[in-house]
Amino acid sequence: MNEQRVVVLGAAGFIGSHLVDRFLAEGWRVTGVDDFITGTRRNLEHLAREPRFDLLEQDICGSLDGIRGEVDAVLDFASPASPIDYLEHPFETLHVGSIGVENALRLAKRTGAIFLLSSTSEVYGDPLEHPQRESYWGNVNPIGPRAVYDEAKRFAEAITMAYRRYEKVPIRIARIFNTYGPRMRLDDGRVVPAFVAQALRGEPITVFGDGSQTRSFCYVDDNVEGMWRLLHSKYEEPVNIGNPHELSILEFAKAVQRLVGSDVPIVTKPLPQDDPRLRRPDITRAREVLGWEPKIGFDEGMGRTIAWFRQQV
């Protein structure tokens, strides 16, 4: 049998490590690459004796020429992705979204692999269209603190499309909306681990601003199914992958209190600069092109996530 092989860049990250598991379960060989800047060794520990998995510990901004042999797909999930992480690593974030993505595209070209980019709802910035469709060009502040992530990802999309147009590399672009689940880093600063950890520890829940800003949360297994289908589609334009179930951050804080069973107080802190006011994916395209939509409801996904965080706290 002709075994397929995928290279997962950012394999030790939250979504990257779940993708590694999925491709192994589907019978693929997997080469992971990570420099552990924000990824976690624990996310891959269970694969220590897996013969179809190997790991290269390196920054993808360095040469990827060490990856030899046949490759069928390159999945680029290598980037700091939480606001705290990319504000702490601004240059690494800019480089991995530009130099790193070009290296990854070169690897795909050299090996004849399909290239899949993990892009982000941040390309829409603080959106003036709601919900966000793929046709929307966004409202991004190019000089604000979030720009190190947003503009790197916009450049990543631009260079991915250029490799499609001029180098004939087959490409896929997933615009990933807020995703949550087991293996998120407890201290990555994002709202899901932050609120759950606060509720579990009996600390106040810190809502930034008045909590009226919205997010729409997708469980990681649904995301991974979307990535799997997108890779196997022939679709070479961006596709939103997210859950349209939209909540204000204050509603989310109350949901965490309810699901953890905790009566910790909710306190407010200043809203970070350029924090998007509204965010919800329009997933019409994913439904039509991939036959995909999220299957895991909010309470179920949060239940699984809280159970996992309980073991970490």
Across the beta sheet with 5-9, the strand order is 53-57, 29-34, 5-9, 73-76, 114-120, 171-176, 238-241
In this chain, which stretch among 44-52, 150-158, 184-192, 295-303 interacts with ligand UDP, using CB under 6 A? 184-192
Question: Has 219 been annotated as catalytic?
Answer: no
Nearer to ligand UDP, 31 or 214 (CB): 214
Radius of gyration in angstroms for the set of CA atoms belonging to the chain, rounded to a whole number: 19
Residues 205-224 that bind ligand UDP (CB under 6 A): 206-208, 213, 215
Q: Which of 94, 96, 249, 296 binds ligand UDP (CB under 6 A)?
A: 249
Q: Where in the chain does DSSP place strands (E)?
A: 5-9, 29-34, 53-57, 73-76, 114-120, 171-176, 179-180, 205-208, 214-216, 218-219, 238-241, 246-248, 266-269
Instruction: Kindly write out the interface string for residues 95-124 of this chain, putting x where it contacts ligand UDP by CB under 6 A and - elsewhere.
Output: ------------------------------
Q: Which of 59, 203, 274, 275 binds ligand UDP (CB under 6 A)?
A: 275
Q: Which of 86, 124, 136, 149 is catalytic?
A: 149
Position of tokens 């694969």? 47
Q: Which of 30, 37, 104, 191 binds ligand UDP (CB under 6 A)?
A: 191
Cα torsion 244, 296, 122, 23: sign: negative
Reading the block at residue 255, the tokens are 């949901």
Nearer to ligand UDP, 170 or 189 (CB): 189
Cβ–Cβ under 8 Å, residues 232 and 224: no
Does 175 bind ligand UDP (CB under 6 A)? Our answer is no
Q: Which residues are catalytic?
A: 149
Residues engaged in binding ligand UDP (CB under 6 A): 82-83, 178, 189-191, 194, 206-208, 213, 215, 249, 272, 275
